[in-house]
Structure 1
């Protein structure tokens, strides 16, 4: 389903309930902008909540669910996270929540976003944060539905991170994240090389990454936990 596309028709309750789960992915749209595209995305998420279908979202997916349930999204106050979100820290609730089972108390993860959750909706529980972004992982209970979401991207591997860095080169240089396009390319090339050889300690050391990012089983923790929970039943 691509609800943001012009002419897209939203599925009815019966159709939504035929799904075991719904995944809401990243998006270049800004949820604080009132446009037909953002309204269609929010309307679909409200329908998912009302249908009682369990859902998971990363990055903009978290923001869509937040707005659909009555919360607020804004431009990031501390600037964008580009490449990796560092030192994501579990809250007390996060330590107990099955979404983050297997994660250490603090970890890094692939991340690209310039917007953030300002206010969680009623029924939202903060599960993780860091010094850049106050809302990194949440559970939202709204209507008949339950949503688990993260602001980072557990689904992205290092090859995709390197590609996204290159696509955002102009913005990252202009905002001071890299001193020049050449410096950005050097960094992206190291990320790419670590994807090709995840056991290279020299690259992991320079990039400040560990197994939470370089090992597939660790990086996919939240997705695996959500799927396991859906299979076991809510």
Structure 2
């Protein structure tokens, strides 16, 4: 029997519409589409952690998934405060949760950790050389991952300090926490700084949308360079076994193939179905 999952948005309505304009779907809608592809028949509900004062009825839900967004959790904004209040309720309820990118940052801050701007700048398109920590070598969220891998990514801030009761599971040279488990209150949260749920076509769209930032960071000479890379990404997404394109981009099957790209999310759903993440 498929689990019943809440998909949480932390985008404002304006941010949702902006993402729809260049990527086709808001972040929570994209996440829901990936979950349905991964688990046909899965039952999903949607809620915004910015617009609701309380959680929906959790009695019929098996887990909660947080989509990414441009929210900056190190800024004292109404959106950041609302996200923390929402996540605090999730921890108190004891419902297992998973988050990508901003989802990890929301959980970290809500449990007492901290976030800040990433140095030397945004992690664009890919998080490369993600490597397990000692704790990550035996953690079920990373089951099936090789020692080092590449994943879709698009973020300008990172978790700078994990809260008490948390474990860093993976890192790369420029991002100190790429994956983590956070235990707080009655809840268990698994999260990644990258985006397993994003297709290469979505990464291409986001990269083109942020062309100016990509060029300013010296990652491309001009917009033509960005668009050429985006075209190769779209081609690889359409034909994920094209080893020539993967080689040109420095990628492999861990990111090109849907089932392997979604491994952390699949492991979370498996753990939820097994009841492994519920409070004792």
Return the TM-score normalized by structure 1: 0.96
What pairs up with 1:79-228 in 2 under 5 angstroms? 79-228=121-270
Tell me the alpha carbon deviations over residues 58-98 of structure 1, each in whole angstroms, 9 at most, x when there is no partner: 00000000000000000002321111000100111111000
CA distance in 1, matches of 2:104, 2:144: 21
CA distance in 1, matches of 2:260, 2:67: 20
> Once superposed, what is the RMSD of the aligned Cα atoms?
1.0
Alignment correspondent of 2:54: 10
CA distance in 2, matches of 1:134, 1:152: 12
**TM superposition outliers: structure 1 runs of 4+ over 6 Å:** none
Alignment correspondent of 1:37: 79
CA distance in 1, matches of 2:157, 2:207: 17
| Alignment: residue pair count | 230
Alignment correspondent of 1:65: 107
Alignment correspondent of 1:28: 70
Q: What are structure 1's unaligned runs of at least 5 residues?
A: none
